[in-house]
Structure 1
Amino acid sequence: MEKLQRQLAKIRNLLDVTFFKVLLFVSIGIILFAVMYSNVKPEKLNLTLFSVAEQTIRSPITLEDRANTERKRTEASEQVQDVYTMKKEYTENRVDLISSIFDSVSEVEEEIKMEQDQLQKQAQTNADGTGTAPATAPTVADKLPMLKDKLTENVTKDIPDPVFNSLLQTGKDELSIAKDLTVTAINHVMNERIPADQVENAKKRLEEELKYTSLSANMKDAAIALGRYAVVQNEFYDPVATEELREQAKEDIEPVKILQGQILVEEGQLISREIFRQLELAGVLDSDNSIKPFAGLVLFISILLLALYYYFNEKTPEDKKQTNLLLFSLIFVLSIIIMKLISLLQMYEYADIGYVFPAAMGAMLIKILIDERLAIFMTIAMAVCGSILFNEGITGTIHMTIGIYILCSGLAGILFLSKQNQRSKILQAGLLVSAVNLVVIVSLLFLQNGQYSGLEYSFYLIAALVSGIASAVLTIGLLPFFEAGFGILSTMKLIELSNPNHPLLRKILTEAPGTYHHSVMVANLAESACEAVGANGLLARVGCYYHDIGKTKRPQFFIENQLNIENPHDRLPPQTSKNIIIAHATDGAEALRKHRLPREIVDIAEQHHGTTLLKYFYHKAKQNGLEAKVEDYRYPGPKAKTKESAIIGIADSVEAAVRSMSHPTNEQIEEIVRNIISDRLQDGQLNECDITLKELEIVAHTLCETLKGIFHSRIEYPEMMKQKVNQA
């Protein structure tokens, strides 16, 4: 394991160089391309017209069959009947024309009557001997020119003179009746559609209506002649409306599509011209020369790697870039390889074998070892890769169902591990992931509205369970290797280190019980303060358990372990006492390194005192008249580098100071806490960590509240009072 750690450390160091970092991304891209190459590579098919298909061929993509679409639209357009429009204004015009003829006849009669009246007056004047003799009454022949002058040339040309003569010979009352009957008949006939080939039939209908009227024979013939003349075609072909209907019929036809996965030709079927055309349209015939699938795969991998590069370059802390990048790369490549191996089983007719893929494994590992955001990114990437790898043997297709399944499964694993990262909870998370997998599969099957047997549903149930449980088992199994190989201090590792049965903790408990109790008290204080400012509370607690492990080397020289014994420092010179006290920090770091505890725990043991001054022994040396330098009585450091180390150092001093008081009040506790923090600030002990003044105020408040809860006033019972009196 140490050899592996050294090798990984060398690789991490190489990643500091841009060339090697780019080389890693290129390597990931090559692996992805090699894994998905066969899934996008078009099949080589030997197909000719009128040959027999040796295998069932499906469409690799969804596309529109324009030829079939156009054919169906043409058929729909041809089925549209010509549109004929009835001109209603023609009826009004023809009625007005016939009415005008009758009115013109009446006007002629009126004019002749007026002339006759004038002539009559003149005749009376002649009888008196002063006027001319009266003229004779005009004949029909005389009236005819007058009537024609009132009508248009077209009318007079189309209507024979006998018709006009009959009108001019008819009395006023009969003429009025004839007019009404003729107009009514024309209205009745022309209110119906009269196409060009039905004009004669319409005229006959009008003739039938007028044949049985009470008009005289001559007038009846004239009315019929006028009616036949009035009846004309009133229904005409409308090219605009016809074209609109044809266009609408074309638009109503949905585009004919060849769907992805649709069978184009079945095994043993003759390849007709239509099938050959569809194969050519789907790009199956010339697929050997197509580079589009490979170009698409390269573009997809490039986008994925660019996003990954941006994340690690911009969103990752500088001190964790190399470790996180290498760790992510290993987990991602491992997941892709597992996915590829499972996808190879599809060649044995296991079309839905992809559902057993442990989709949540990589997401849970990344969540535990790095962070949640990167785990989500990996889940999305795995979902897209899975939709390509599990394309059911149809090259170039995308299996969206399996992509959704992998995405939901991975996100479920991240969700269930959000606040519970203990190893015992990983298996529970795996079971919950299995439940989510099952719900997702069932929902997708229902959405497809397919018919499935009980055996098929049983397979999906087993696949969902296997995927979730395998994710948990693989996570539990791989986690120790990644933690050990990369020296990662995960939450689960911290929980393991907090176990009281750990050899070092048992050593403290048995050899320095006072120090153990002190460490537990400091742990309570430091954990609450760290959580209040957003630092790692669990790391602070575990670090407190081990921070004074160096005191086990000489436990009796530390006051918390001096129960009913004389303080040995009373007999030692200040210089010697100083050396013993200061040594516990370096001794502790050395012991922790020897037992291979994580670097973060070693740093806490080494940094919790920083370079603070041992004031008691410094002043004791001064009082004894010894030459003492301040630098000689300071801890060697280093100063606190992290918030956790700084807060633990403050909590350590605060707990010791408050414990030394018999009955500390709330005011005394607050004064001690703020004085210790102020001393640390003025002494420059917090200059090398990123803790702010605002956070220090929060730390002070949290420490005060916790200490008040620990050292609260207790009621003194009568028995206790008596004991105190007796002791006095």
Structure 2
Amino acid sequence: MAWQWLVGQLRLLWARGGQIGLLNRRTLWGGILFFLAVAIIAADFLPQKLDLKVGQPSPRDIKAPQGIVYESEVLTARAREEAERKVEPVYRIDNTVAEKLVEEARVPFRNVRQILLQTPEGGAREEKLAAALVGWELDASTRKALASVDQNSLNTLEEQLVQVIRRHMQGAISREALETTREKMLTEVGTLNVEAKYKPFLAAIIRKLELKPTLVYDVAATLQRREKARAEVVPVQVTIRQGEKIVGDGEIVTEEDIEALQKLGLLRPGTPWRSLVGLILLQGVLVFLVLFYLRTFKKQIYASDRLLLLLGLLWVVFLLFSRGVTAISLGNRPEMSRLVGYLIPVAAGSMLTAILLDGQVALIFTVFLALEAGILGGNYFQLVAAGIVSGLTGVYCVTHLDQRSSLARSSLFLTLANMLAVLALGLLLGHSLLEISLGLGLALANGVLSAVLTIGFLPFLESTFGITTAVKLLELSNPNHPLLKRLLLEAPGTYHHSLLVANLAEAAADAIGADSLLARIGAYYHDIGKLKRPYFFIENQVGTENPHDKLSPSLSSLIISCHVKDGLELAREFGLPSVVQDIIAQHHGTTLMSFFYHKACEKSRGLEVDEGEFRYETPKPQSKEAAIVMLADSVEAGIRSLPKLTPSRMESFVRKIIKEKLEDGQLENSDLTFRDLAIIGDAFLRVLNGIYHSRVEYPEAVLREMERRKNRNGMLHKQSAG
């Protein structure tokens, strides 16, 4: 989630930066990413003289190099907290509690008084009183007495009870004393100078009262006293003499020790300006070389702000992970700790770049990241060598991906290559057996870590930057995809048609150097819109009446053309990549639905028919792959209508379809050349000849002889088994 939020914010800021111009925007974001990268690497060029943390044992005796007097923020804060703790809580008396209880006690008297006034004396009055006092646990004699009480006596009872409540609820009463206070009130009720038959009623009212403490915590007054106590604490002065021990060897470091070391300057980082300048120059040269390569050899990537931002983010994220790796300590032996650099996941950056951008760019980026790993790991050339081996192996592993799980299997090759590189470097540099063993273990972990990072980051980067990788397309080729399963079950003719179109498109795209995988996947899904009304399309009409026979040509053309819009809706619903959606939207272009157009002309009785009403209102193909799918779709749909298929007839038909699309202007935005169209036609014919090749018809005598031999072989098999 944090990664998605970060990338989302960067994309938002990038979009806003579009107002300042391309060059200025690139300069701004390039500067930001460059600054972040240098800041991450520069941590090694700002070493601390001591690396101590609170709660850890000190590695040695540390003494003050000079005397110092300072105000201790740690001890002062501790003294102020102690003074604050000593302040007693402030309470105040809430005089409204007693009056609220009095009002609560008057309620039953009002209820009884109302019943006495509204109900004549007798059984009905007693029943109403019993109903009003349900749960009060009053006996029949008490209820009878209340039913016959006069108003003056009732007023006297009320006033005496009020006096009892006010006497006992005045003053400071804590929560713990509430029940004791209630018992005192009940005792006094028993001694009141009233008739005994009314005392249970008064006691019941006391029991029903919701007593609350009159002594409440005064937050404001308590905070005021505590703030005053804190303010009265005098800052604690600490005096340290020269040579005085701050912390001893093996002693647990406290906050006071850290503060003293900071005041003495023992934890303050230095400022090696020469090293920083050298680092900035080196980073500038490396970044310039990468950008120069992209500008010269990969102009499409260099021209894309989005892809450049992706490459920069991969760089910064790699540095962050590498910084975390190099922070791992393996004890007090420097020769062992520097081996941690073998865990830096150069291959993860290489594989992500190869999958998301380009394999050749990934090779250059591998060298770049390996150099960064060497700098981060302490300027050791063996880390550069190991990083190059790991990164190049990673690029090779993802060159021919067939599914996402192949990324996990690539960790085996990465692990083997890493271990061989580390072993060779260990023998070359004369490392000890322990160092070689540790390096091999880290190399093994590097292979697993690189694969895990690649698998983890790839989906987020694909969705965030809108990149459709070969891995994503291969997942869409799975026949168990919900859309393909629906197509097979609900529109089997369209499904079979799509498979044949995919074979044609893949062969043609491969022949002219286009993206054959994209062409194949686009062909799989180009007609998914037919799922909405499959029976309106001829390939799904098996032995059923054609519904178009009962419709007007204009309505039929409208229904047919809607499958493009329906397909786009399904594609968005199931999250198909934008490049596949483009093929769905463009695979008909503005083609004329000639069958319905000619049918309309026949029915028009000489009236002019608007050709525009019978054309698809969709974009023309904008890419080679979309144009190839259009041609393959038309060829496959039309080839089945030929009465007798022969190689010459198929070739004539294929060339005719391509020529018609060209002359109709459907291919003008696809960047296909005349040479490409010729090659595409040849590729179509190779596939069609393989599908519709003629089969040998065996003579009747030959068939009978084959059947006889089959039966004889079966009998011999049974005899041998017996």
TM class, shorter-chain normalised?
0.5 to 0.7
Q: What is the identity percentage for the equivalent residue pairs of Structure 1 and Structure 2?
A: 41
Distance in 1 between the 2:8 and 2:554 partners? 41
SS at the partner of 2:519? helix
Check the 8 A contact 1:15/1:21 in 2, yes or no: no
SS at the partner of 1:564? coil
1:525 shift after superposition: 0.5
1:369 shift after superposition: 0.8
Distance in 2 between the 1:556 and 1:719 partners? 41
Match of 2:446 in 1: 467
Matches within 5 A, 1:14-413: 14=16, 16=18, 17-41=22-46, 291-311=273-293, 313=295, 315-317=298-300, 321-346=304-329, 348-349=331-332, 350-391=337-378, 398-413=379-394
TM-score normalised over the length of structure 1: 0.62
1:619 shift after superposition: 1.1
Distance in 1 between the 2:619 and 2:7 partners? 26
Give a deviation string over 1:638-697, Cα, whole Å, max 9, x none: 000000000110011111111222430000110011000000111111101111111111
Task: Tell me: CA distance 1:721–1:5, structure 2 relative to 1, closer, same or farther (3 Å).
Answer: farther
1:288 shift after superposition: 6.4
Which of 459, 477, 484 does residue 505 from structure 1 map onto? 484
Match of 1:222 in 2: none
Distance in 2 between the 1:382 and 1:630 partners? 59
Check the 8 A contact 2:422/2:436 in 1, yes or no: no
Task: Tell me: CA distance 1:669–1:720, structure 2 relative to 1, closer, same or farther (3 Å).
Answer: farther
1:537 shift after superposition: 0.8
Match of 1:587 in 2: 566
Which of 617, 625, 633 does residue 596 from structure 2 map onto? 617
Which of 479, 482, 489 does residue 468 from structure 2 map onto? 489
Task: Tell me: CA distance 1:31–1:716, structure 2 relative to 1, closer, same or farther (3 Å).
Answer: same
Distance in 1 between the 2:621 and 2:348 partners? 36
1:555 shift after superposition: 0.8
Distance in 2 between the 1:568 and 1:352 partners? 75
Task: Tell me: CA distance 1:596–1:43, structure 2 relative to 1, closer, same or farther (3 Å).
Answer: closer
Which of 637, 648, 667 does residue 686 from structure 1 map onto? 667
Give a deviation string over 1:214-257, Cα, whole Å, max 9, x none: xxxxxxxxxxxxxxxxxxxxxxxxxxxxxxxxxxxxxxxxxxxx
1:345 shift after superposition: 1.8
Check the 8 A contact 2:624/2:671 in 1, yes or no: yes
Distance in 1 between the 2:521 and 2:624 partners? 14
Match of 2:524 in 1: 545
Distance in 2 between the 1:356 and 1:633 partners? 64
Give a deviation string over 1:395-428, Cα, whole Å, max 9, x none: xxx2111111111111111122222253222122
Distance in 2 between the 1:347 and 1:368 partners? 34
Task: Tell me: CA distance 1:540–1:290, structure 2 relative to 1, closer, same or farther (3 Å).
Answer: closer
SS at the partner of 2:467? coil
Match of 1:126 in 2: none
Distance in 2 between the 1:532 and 1:632 partners? 36
Distance in 2 between the 1:704 and 1:12 partners? 48
Q: What amino acid is the match of 1:649?
A: M
SS at the partner of 2:328? helix
Distance in 2 between the 1:345 and 1:8 partners? 30
Distance in 1 between the 2:551 and 2:608 partners? 16
Distance in 2 between the 1:40 and 1:5 partners? 29
Give a deviation string over 1:321-376, Cα, whole Å, max 9, x none: 12211221222211110101111124744231111222211100110111112212
Q: What amino acid is the match of 2:327?
A: L
Distance in 1 between the 2:532 and 2:702 partners? 40
1:4 shift after superposition: 8.3
Q: What amino acid is the match of 1:597?
A: L
1:14 shift after superposition: 4.5
Residue segments in structure 2 that go unaligned for 5+ positions in a row: 51-59, 63-268, 704-722
How many residue pairs match? The answer is 476
Match of 1:635 in 2: 616
Task: Tell me: CA distance 1:560–1:421, structure 2 relative to 1, closer, same or farther (3 Å).
Answer: closer
Give a deviation string over 1:507-554, Cα, whole Å, max 9, x none: 111111100000000000000100111111111111111100111111
Distance in 2 between the 1:697 and 1:365 partners? 36
Task: Tell me: CA distance 1:337–1:6, structure 2 relative to 1, closer, same or farther (3 Å).
Answer: closer
Match of 2:405 in 1: 424
Higher relative contact order structure (alpha carbons within 8 Å, sequence separation ≥ 6): 1
Match of 1:438 in 2: 419
Which of 584, 593, 605 does residue 605 from structure 1 map onto? 584
SS at the partner of 1:419? coil
Task: Tell me: CA distance 1:408–1:7, structure 2 relative to 1, closer, same or farther (3 Å).
Answer: same
Distance in 2 between the 1:409 and 1:461 partners? 13
Distance in 2 between the 1:357 and 1:521 partners? 47
Stretch of structure 1 that moved more, 19-28 or 525-534:
19-28
Check the 8 A contact 1:609/1:637 in 2, yes or no: yes
Q: What amino acid is the match of 1:333?
A: V
Distance in 2 between the 1:319 and 1:36 partners? 25
Distance in 2 between the 1:484 and 1:682 partners? 38
What's the RMSD between the two structures over aligned residues? Answer: 2.7
SS at the partner of 1:628? coil
Q: What amino acid is the match of 2:342?
A: Y
TM-score normalised over the length of structure 2: 0.62
SS at the partner of 2:352? helix
Check the 8 A contact 1:361/1:475 in 2, yes or no: yes
Task: Tell me: CA distance 1:671–1:6, structure 2 relative to 1, closer, same or farther (3 Å).
Answer: farther
SS at the partner of 1:688? coil
Distance in 2 between the 1:611 and 1:657 partners? 18
Match of 1:573 in 2: 552
Who wins on radius of gyration, i.e. which is larger? 1
Residue segments in structure 1 that go unaligned for 5+ positions in a row: 46-52, 56-286, 392-397, 723-728
Distance in 2 between the 1:430 and 1:588 partners? 39
Which of 623, 633, 646 does residue 627 from structure 2 map onto? 646
Match of 1:522 in 2: 501
SS at the partner of 2:435? helix
1:582 shift after superposition: 1.1
Stretch of structure 1 that moved more, 348-357 or 409-418:
348-357
